Structure 1
Amino acid sequence: MIVHGNSITECWLKILIVVADGTSSEISPLIANFSTNNPVPDYQEELEHDLNELLKSINQNSIETTASTIFPKSLSHGDQTSVFKRFDKIWKYVKKNGQNKYGHYFRRLIAFNEASGKPINQLKHIIETYNGIEGLRNPVHRRSALIALTFDPSIDHTSQALRGFPCLQQVCFIPKKKGKMKLNAIYAMQYLVDRGYGNYVGLQNLGHFMASEMGLELDEVNCIASILELGNVNKSIAKEFVKKYRKYV
């Protein structure tokens, strides 16, 4: 199933309606496609407030907290080097959080295979690959070179019945015509209510950052979930949420 929205809010709400109205609590597979440069819907602020209240009631992270695991927007003032250095400085505190015991998405993107002692900053590599380095490396626009992984089989292939991380597997930055860029993200499993909206916000923030560093403009995000589940709420709660906002889509 492919669901398109002119914004994150519209796309997420359309998916919630499909699941709430359906006979199953999951869709497999699901592609959420949303535009990134349109004006935000009038109802977005209210919906995000209501969703954050719902997330709090079921002991889940807020939209903003989930989004920051993919890209810490609060650290993004300045150039790429500043962002990476700022996160390096706070990582010793971030990793102490029990929710990060298996890893952290942004850390994987800028310090992949950290345990080897030679961490790879995949985002820096992609930026330098696309732009080139004056006097050292010519620009390379091969799209297969613009991919960053978050799944590391050396530590993520386990026999645990439940693990919880990483659901996000990889992120692809795809240049388009006329200086545009789209971001494609692949999830093995995604929970629509618990983390879906925050995932979309984090991916959009990451995409805007990378597009800016690559001299492009993000205009589209595709989030591919091999399995999308409603999450830690029942259908009746989803239906109540939908009742208030269905009129907007």
Structure 2
Amino acid sequence: MSLFVVDKANTSLAWQEACRKLDVPGNPKRDALHTTVHIRNAVAEDPHVRAEFDQMRRERGYPLIETVANTIFPAELAAVSSTPEELVRRYRVMYPRLCRIDRGNATGTYFGRIVAYPGENGPVDQLTALINRIRRQAAGRGPMTAAYEMDIAHPDDPAASDLTDDDRDADAGTWSAPVHAAGKDNGLRGFPCLSHCSFQLDRNRVLHAVALYRSHYMVARAYGNYLGLGRLLAYLAKHAEVRPGTLMVIAGHAQIEGDIRALRPVLQDQARLAA
């Protein structure tokens, strides 16, 4: 299993290229370690790729891309919430029901962890705190570049209970060990600097993001995850009064799961796509 690096203009092209790098001769499991996908505008998509992939997902019983993206950032709810605080309040009210009605969300959602991280003294709202920090830093004369962390995983998280035997094998050796304590490690310098989502503010008031995944399923999750992260980045930038920049997604282990024959038509080169 070898690493690879992808750098593309939008989510559709980045996801396509990452899958192509996995679906090569000599890689029968279609997987790799330490993959890096860099997306210059993660909220942008190619509508043809999106439509073809969603159609394939419907035929194969996967949730739609929008459903996956909403687990990271609920775009429709955000659009009708006037402030980040209102978005947090409304999502927290909905959160228990979301976990009950969707088996896939039984242990929580990514956005749930962002707005209600399980701290020792109760739920921690990382979203509003991070927006406020970025805004304050951006308004100063010498803003910190890398002091904006957002935890998703929790050290006490149990192993997923809904994995198949094949999935468990694929996940072997990909555990994570978060060290940043949301709501506690608030110093602008020093330890720790490891997190699942890290944001960087450059000197031109542009906010960039790095997301770390221990494992990434390219069919079921990756496209929606890229899109959801891009929307989260754009939301943070908007409310912190800076500009959104690039997204980098690093996966400890990436894999194309399922029947590759169903996916290959979506991955075929098309003249209308620009690199």
> What TM-score does the superposition give when structure 1 sets the normalisation length?
0.84
| Separation in structure 1 between the aligned mates of residue 22 and residue 252 of structure 2, nearest angstrom | 15
Match of 2:220 in 1: 194
1:67 aligns with one of 40, 59, 69:
69
Q: How many residues align?
A: 238
Match of 2:133 in 1: 129
2:262 aligns with one of 208, 227, 237:
237
Following superposition, the deviation at residue 100 of structure 1 comes to 1.1
| Separation in structure 2 between the aligned mates of residue 173 and residue 214 of structure 1, nearest angstrom | 12
Match of 2:12 in 1: 9
2:88 aligns with one of 76, 84, 87:
84
Match of 1:36 in 2: 41
CA contact (8 A) 1:31 1:225 kept: yes
Following superposition, the deviation at residue 57 of structure 1 comes to 2.4
CA contact (8 A) 2:149 2:198 kept: yes
In the alignment, structure 1 segments of 5+ residues that lack a partner are: none
Following superposition, the deviation at residue 246 of structure 1 comes to 7.3
| Separation in structure 1 between the aligned mates of residue 42 and residue 150 of structure 2, nearest angstrom | 23
For residue 21 of structure 1, give the secondary structure of its aligned residue in structure 2. coil
For residue 76 of structure 1, give the secondary structure of its aligned residue in structure 2. helix
CA contact (8 A) 1:35 1:219 kept: yes
Which of structure 1's runs of 4+ aligned residues deviate more than 6 A? 166-169
Change (3 A) 1:192 1:22: farther
| Separation in structure 1 between the aligned mates of residue 65 and residue 90 of structure 2, nearest angstrom | 22
Following superposition, the deviation at residue 247 of structure 1 comes to 6.8
| Separation in structure 2 between the aligned mates of residue 123 and residue 155 of structure 1, nearest angstrom | 21
Following superposition, the deviation at residue 244 of structure 1 comes to 5.6
> What TM-score does the superposition give when structure 2 sets the normalisation length?
0.77
CA contact (8 A) 2:145 2:202 kept: no
Change (3 A) 1:155 1:195: closer
Matched, 1:210 2:210: no
CA contact (8 A) 1:34 1:222 kept: yes
| Separation in structure 1 between the aligned mates of residue 90 and residue 154 of structure 2, nearest angstrom | 24
Matched, 1:221 2:221: no
Deviations, residues 88-142 of structure 1 (Å, cap 9, x unaligned): 222232111211112210000111116x561111122212223349xxxx99954
CA contact (8 A) 1:130 1:139 kept: no
In the alignment, structure 2 segments of 5+ residues that lack a partner are: 179-194
CA contact (8 A) 1:34 1:221 kept: yes
For residue 103 of structure 1, give the secondary structure of its aligned residue in structure 2. coil
Higher share of residues assigned helix? 1
2:118 aligns with one of 113, 116, 139:
113
Moved more, 48-57 or 14-23: 14-23
Following superposition, the deviation at residue 145 of structure 1 comes to 3.4
| Separation in structure 2 between the aligned mates of residue 159 and residue 204 of structure 1, nearest angstrom | 25
Following superposition, the deviation at residue 143 of structure 1 comes to 4.8
For residue 117 of structure 2, give the secondary structure of its aligned residue in structure 1. coil
Change (3 A) 1:21 1:246: farther
| Separation in structure 2 between the aligned mates of residue 101 and residue 205 of structure 1, nearest angstrom | 23
Identity of aligned residues (%): 18
Q: Give the letter aligned to residue 15 of structure 1.
A: A
